[in-house]
Amino acid sequence: MTTDTTTFAAPRPAAPGEPVLEARGVTMRFGGLTAVRGVDLTVHASEIVGLIGPNGAGKTTFFNCLTGLYVPTEGEVRYKGAVLPPKSFKVTAAGIARTFQNIRLFANMTVLENVLVGRHTRTKEGFWSAVLRGPGFHRAEAASRARAMELLDFVGLAAKADHLARNLPYGEQRKLEIARALASEPGLLLLDEPTAGMNPQETRATEELVFAIRDMGIAVLVIEHDMRFIFNLCDRVAVLVQGEKLIEGDSATVQGDERVVAAYLGEPFEGAPGAEEAAEVREAEAHAEATAGQAPAEPTRDAVPGKETDR
């Protein structure tokens, strides 16, 4: 039993240039499908890093490995030097916050309440404290509300604190998700397609917002399909293709790499991840073509009539 209402300390700020996130050899398999294969990625303090790649490249799966939603099949993720716990609420408490590709707000709660929910990892109001509602509880609650209002002001939603989240326009719901993520006082913020569904003005405003978050000392890792947004914003960009990291560098380097263009156009290119597998498929197809029209092979000893073979 506790009536302690003190606030958990936010993670210590990282020194400039210090690595905050270190992912090493992260692999995630779903049955026979390898969605992410041996990915290394480092994000330093005060850096904005972009993660791009064609649809299905493994970006969200990689994010899920960084935030404890998935436990990687292989590899290791460290935050400020410590291996991350395999539970998403513990990862948030450690200092990594995220937003989702599909907005996940509490639709029937107010804007302010949504941000207060985001603060729960930084407060430890015990059961009896909440029931008895003593002075400590009220102090902690007031501090949480004040911080939540500051964050709403920061993202431009203070005037809508009492609105229901479901009544916000789409672009503002995305901003609210960011405010809620910031409420856990993270050292690293992961944004999964923060401008999806936004008009150009909203996208521009989101860019400014991400710069302001970085200026608060929070490192940012962002997945986005809007290339202009990514190349304007990011200090470094990593490209995932078929689950593997194809290249990583500054915007100019990545933009100038013909393999990146080819990957987006779906064209094969020398040394592309999966090229070996593609060559095997071509060989098998050529073989099938060459033997087409010949008598079908005798069934093997193991074949059972009427039983489907594994595909």
Ligand X SMILES: Nc1ncnc2c1ncn2[C@@H]1O[C@H](COP(=O)(O)OP(=O)(O)OP(=O)(O)O)[C@@H](O)[C@H]1O
Length of the chain: 311
Closest CB to ligand X among residues 60, 144: 60
Among 56, 156, 200, 256, binds ligand X (CB under 6 A): 56
Is residue 55 near ligand X by the rule CB under 6 A? yes
**Cα 2 to Cα 129: distance, rounded to the nearest angstrom:** 7
Q: In the numeric block, which tokens belong to residue 303?
A: 């074949």
Is residue 53 near ligand X by the rule CB under 6 A? yes
Is residue 194 near ligand X by the rule CB under 6 A? no
Closest CB to ligand X among residues 61, 92: 61
**Cα 185 to Cα 9: distance, rounded to the nearest angstrom:** 9
The amino acid at 40: D
Closest CB to ligand X among residues 8, 231: 231
Closest approach of Cβ 113 to ligand X, in Å? 29
* Segment holding 179, helix H or strand E: helix 170-182
Among 14, 20, 23, 35, binds ligand X (CB under 6 A): 35
Is residue 170 near ligand X by the rule CB under 6 A? no
Task: Kindly indicate which of the ranges 27-35, 86-94, 154-162, 287-295 contains the residues binding ligand X, using the contact rule CB under 6 A.
Answer: 27-35
Q: In the numeric block, which tokens belong to residue 291?
A: 């033997």
Closest approach of Cβ 53 to ligand X, in Å? 5
CA dihedral sign, ordered 115, 117, 121, 125: positive
Cα 40 to the chain's mean position, in Å?
A: 15
**Residue that the structure tokens 């850096």 belong to:** 47
Is residue 61 near ligand X by the rule CB under 6 A? yes
Q: Is beta strand 219-223 parallel, antiparallel or unpaired with respect to 236-241? A: unpaired
Among 5, 48, 49, 58, binds ligand X (CB under 6 A): 58
Return all residues near 224 (Cβ < 8 A) that are at least 6 apart: 50, 52, 191, 193, 194, 195, 230
Task: Kindly indicate which of the ranges 52-60, 108-116, 136-144, 176-184 contains the residues binding ligand X, using the contact rule CB under 6 A.
Answer: 52-60
Among 44, 46, 49, 59, binds ligand X (CB under 6 A): 59
Is residue 60 near ligand X by the rule CB under 6 A? yes
Is residue 33 near ligand X by the rule CB under 6 A? yes
3-state secondary structure of 26: strand
Q: In the numeric block, which tokens belong to residue 174?
A: 């995305």
Is residue 71 near ligand X by the rule CB under 6 A? no
**Residues contributing to the site for ligand X (CB under 6 A):** 30, 33, 35, 53, 55-61
